[in-house]
Amino acid sequence: MNRVNLLFRNFIYFLSLSLLSVQMVQARELPNFTRLFEEASPAVVNISTLSTPKQSRAQIYGPGGEELPEIFRRYFGLPMPEAPSGKPRPMSLGSGFIISKDGYILTNNHVVEGAEKIIVRLHDRSEKVAELIGADKRSDLALLKIESEGNLPVVKMGDSDDVKPGQWVAAIGSPFNFEYSITKGIVSALDRSLPSDAYVPFIQSDVPINPGNSGGPLFNMKGEVIGINSQIFTRSGGFMGLSFAIPSDHVQWAVEQLKEKGYVTRGWLGVAIQEVDRDLAESFGLKKPMGALITQVVPGGPADNVKLHPGDIITRVDGREIMRSSALPMAIGVIEPGDKATLELIREGKRQTVSVEVGELPDEQGPHSERPLGPNMKKNRLGIQVEGLNDDNRNKLRLDEEIKGVVVTGEVTGVGRSIGLRQGDIITNLNNIRLESVKDFDKVVADLPEDRSVSMRVVRGGQSAFITFRLTD
C-alpha cells in the first residue's frame, strides 16, 4: 500500500513539473509589450479640438429691421436665441503621433474636421496649438504641425507590405480619453475595402479600438508604425472585434502630397465596376472568379479614350493582379495623373493589353467640392470658400440675372459654420458693401473690423435675410 502511495505521489510530482514547464514555455512564447510601450509612447499625442459657440451673436433681420420670423430662422438653419456662452467647447477627442522632430503630426481627418482650434497634448502633458497643413477625406488622414525646437520624440515608420495575418500588433492611444492606453491583438486580414473608403487597402485586426483611439498608431513588435487606426465595426458604439487601420505605405504616399500642396490627388480610370462572382466568371469563360467587370464607361474619360467597353474584365494593372473588383480603385488611385498604366483585360474571352493615360479622380462633391485647406489654398477669416456667379451656377441655383454676389462652395468652417452658412448660399452684401466679384469679397473680408457687429445679406432658395456676426481675435 505504501508503495502505491509513493508511486502516486511521484506521478503527481512529475505531472506538476510537466505542467509548470508547459506554462513557462507558453509564457516565454507570449509577447511582452513593455519595451514597445516605453520606447514608442512618448511620440504618441492626445488631440482635442475646440469651437467657440458664436451662434448666440448671430441675429437675423427682415425688411425694415424687424426680427425675422421663426419659420425663416429654421429655414436658414440658424439656432433659436439662447443665452450667450462664449466659452470654448470640445468637439472631438482623438490620438495622433509625431513623425518628425520639427513637429509634423499625423491623425485622422475626422478627428480635426471642422475644428477652429486644434490642441495637441504631448507626453510631458504640455499643450501646443497645431496648424492643419492638409487633409484627405478619402483616406481619413490629416497632417498637423506644431512649433518645435527640433527635439521631439518620433515614431519609427514600418513597411506595411511586410505585414502578415496572424502577427502580433499593438495600439497606443486615448480611448474614452484615457491617455496612453495600450491594447494588443493580431492582424486578422489585409487589403480590406470598406464602402466609405474604396481607395484604402485597410489592415484589419482584432486590437481593441474605441472612441478616442482614432488617429493613433498601430505598431508591429519591432515598435514600428504599420498603420493608423481609423475605423471600427460596431453595433454598440464600442469595440466588437473588428478594427481597421490605414497601412503605413499608403500613409507615407499621402503625406508627401499633404506637405507639398495640402491635399491628395489620385489616379482615375473613369469606369463603373462590379464584382465577378462564380456565375459571371463562367459566363465570361474564366476558370475562377477574379478581376473587375466594367459596367459603365464615363464618356470622355481615360477608359473611353482607349475604347474600353462594358463587359471588359480588368485582371491586372501594371502587373499587379486584380483578384477582386475592390482592388482596382486602389491600384489606379496611387498612379500619378498623367502617367501611363498597362491594363490586362479579358474581352469576349480573349486576353488583351491596353496602355491608358490615367486621369485625375474628380472631387467627391462635384464641381464645387472643396479640397481640404492646405498651405497653398486660400483660407479667409470667415472659414469659407467662394466663387463668382456665372451662367453655370446661376442655372443650377435658379438665380435671376439681377442678383449679384458670390456663391459659397465647399465645406463651411469657422465663423461661416457658426452663423449657419451652407454650400450654395449667395452672399450679396458684406459689411454694408455690395459684392459683385470674388475680388470684392476678398477685399471686404480683409478689412472687416473686430469686436463689433458685421452684417451679411444671404440669399438661399429665393429667400434673403441679413445675418450679423462678430469677429474676435
- pLDDT tier, 187 (very low <50, low <70, confident <90, very high otherwise): very high
Over residues 16-62, the pLDDT tens digits come to: 666 655 555 554 567 899 999 999 999 999 999 986 554 444 444 44
434 occurs within a structural domain: yes
Q: Rounded mean pLDDT of 308-315? A: 91
Catalytic residue among 174, 181, 214, 230: 214
Model pLDDT, residue 369: 36
Residues 314 and 395 in one domain: no
339 is catalytic: no
Q: Looking at the domain assignment, is residue 112 inside a domain?
A: yes
Amino acid 36: pLDDT: 94
Residue 91's pLDDT is what? 61
Do 226 and 122 share a structural domain?
Answer: yes
- pLDDT in the model for residue 274: 87
pLDDT at 157: 95
For residue 109, being part of any structural domain is answered with: yes
Between CA 55 and CA 65, with CA 60 as vertex, the angle to 5 degrees is 145
Q: pLDDT value at position 188?
A: 95
Same domain, 385 and 443: yes
Q: Identify whether 140 is a catalytic site residue.
A: yes
Residue 369 lies inside a defined structural domain of this protein: no
CA atoms within 13 A on the CB side of 410: 19
Lowest-confidence range among 97-106, 312-321, 429-438? 429-438
Would strands 117-121 and 104-107 be described as parallel, antiparallel, or unpaired?
unpaired
Would you say residue 74 lies in a domain?
no
Give domain status of residue 76, yes or no.
Answer: no
- Let me know whether 23 and 147 are in one domain: no
Same domain for 457 and 317, yes or no, is: no
End residue of a domain, out of 241, 264, 287? 264
Residue that wins the pLDDT comparison between 19 and 216: 216
Sequence-separated (6 or more) residues with CB below 8 Å from residue 372: 109, 132, 134, 135, 136, 137, 142, 262, 263
pLDDT of residue 40: 94
For the chain, how many residues are written? 473
Residue 324 CA to residue 467 CA, distance in Å, equals 52
Mean pLDDT of the chain: 81
Place of cell 479614350: 305
- Min mean pLDDT across 1-5, 120-124, 260-264 is at 1-5
Share of the chain above pLDDT 70, in %: 78
Q: What is the pLDDT of residue 473?
A: 60
Question: Do 173 and 48 share a structural domain?
Answer: yes
Q: Are residues 173 and 315 in the same domain?
A: no
- Determine the Cα angle at 123 with ends 122 and 124, to 5°: 90
Catalytic annotation present for 277: no
State whether 459 and 446 are in the same domain. Answer: yes
Mean of pLDDT values over 56-81: 43
Residues 108 and 224 in one domain: yes
Q: How much is the pLDDT for 379?
A: 57
Mean pLDDT of 277-298: 86
Give residue-wise pLDDT tens across range 417-442. 888 888 888 898 898 898 988 888 98
282 with 258, same domain? no
Which pLDDT score, from 0 to 100, does residue 62 have?
A: 42
Q: What's the confidence (pLDDT) of residue 376? A: 36
How are beta strands 156-157 and 224-232 bridged, if at all? parallel
Q: Both 352 and 391 in a single domain? A: no
The number of angstroms, rounded, from the C-alpha of 194 to the middle of its chain's C-alpha atoms is: 13
Q: What is the CATH number of the domain that holds 102?
A: 2.40.10.120
Minimum mean pLDDT among 9-18, 43-52, 145-154, 448-457: which range?
A: 9-18
Catalytic residue among 100, 110, 123, 191: 110
Q: How many domains does the chain have?
A: 4
Owning domain of residue 328: 267-360
* Tens of pLDDT, residues 381-413: 888 888 888 776 677 666 777 788 898 887 778
Residue 366 lies in a domain: no
Annotated catalytic residue within 41, 48, 140, 418: 140
Least confident of 44-58, 87-101, 181-195: 44-58
Is the model more confident about 272 or about 227?
227
pTM confidence score: 0.65
User: How many Cα neighbours within 13 Å face the side chain of 250?
Assistant: 23
Q: pLDDT for 240-258, tens place per residue?
A: 788 999 999 999 999 999 9
Q: Are residues 353 and 388 in the same domain?
A: no
